[in-house]
Protein backbone atom coordinates (compact mmCIF):
# COMPACT_ATOMS: atom_id res chain seq x y z
CA UNK A 1 0.00 0.00 0.00
CA UNK A 2 1.40 3.42 -0.93
CA UNK A 3 1.25 6.42 1.37
CA UNK A 4 -0.94 9.39 0.46
CA UNK A 5 0.73 12.55 -0.90
CA UNK A 6 2.43 14.67 1.74
CA UNK A 7 -0.24 17.40 1.59
CA UNK A 8 -2.95 14.86 2.48
CA UNK A 9 -1.17 13.29 5.45
CA UNK A 10 -2.35 14.27 8.93
CA UNK A 11 -0.30 16.89 10.73
CA UNK A 12 1.45 15.25 13.72
CA UNK A 13 0.85 18.24 16.00
CA UNK A 14 -2.34 19.92 14.92
CA UNK A 15 -1.80 23.17 16.85
CA UNK A 16 1.61 24.79 17.32
CA UNK A 17 3.39 28.13 17.49
CA UNK A 18 6.35 28.84 15.19
CA UNK A 19 9.03 31.34 16.24
CA UNK A 20 11.19 33.45 13.93
CA UNK A 21 14.03 35.29 15.68
CA UNK A 22 16.13 37.56 13.49
CA UNK A 23 19.30 39.41 14.37
CA UNK A 24 20.82 42.55 12.88
CA UNK A 25 24.24 40.92 12.63
CA UNK A 26 25.97 37.70 13.72
CA UNK A 27 25.72 38.54 17.42
CA UNK A 28 22.93 36.75 19.31
CA UNK A 29 22.19 39.90 21.35
CA UNK A 30 21.38 42.07 18.30
CA UNK A 31 17.71 41.15 17.99
CA UNK A 32 15.97 43.04 15.22
CA UNK A 33 12.71 41.06 14.87
CA UNK A 34 10.73 38.44 16.72
CA UNK A 35 7.68 36.83 15.15
CA UNK A 36 5.28 34.25 16.60
CA UNK A 37 2.75 32.49 14.38
CA UNK A 38 0.00 30.18 15.62
CA UNK A 39 -0.93 27.37 13.22
CA UNK A 40 -4.05 25.24 13.65
CA UNK A 41 -4.50 22.24 11.39
CA UNK A 42 -2.24 23.77 8.74
CA UNK A 43 -3.87 27.23 8.77
CA UNK A 44 -2.21 30.33 10.23
CA UNK A 45 -4.72 31.66 12.76
CA UNK A 46 -2.78 34.30 14.66
Model confidence pLDDT, tens digit, residues 15-40: 889 999 999 998 888 889 999 999 88
pLDDT at 12 over 80: no
Q: Is 1 part of a structural domain of the chain?
A: no
> pTM value?
0.57
Using the CB atoms, write b or e for 14-46: b if 16+ within 10 Å.
eeeeeeeeeeeeeeeeeeeeeeeeebeeeeeee
Q: Is 20 part of a structural domain of the chain?
A: yes
For residue 38, the model assigns a pLDDT of 93
**Average pLDDT for 9-17:** 76
**Average pLDDT for 10-16:** 74
Q: Is 18 part of a structural domain of the chain?
A: yes
By residue range, what is the domain housing residue 12? 6-44
- How many domains, the chain? 1
Amino acid sequence: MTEPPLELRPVPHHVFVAIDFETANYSADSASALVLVRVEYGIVTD
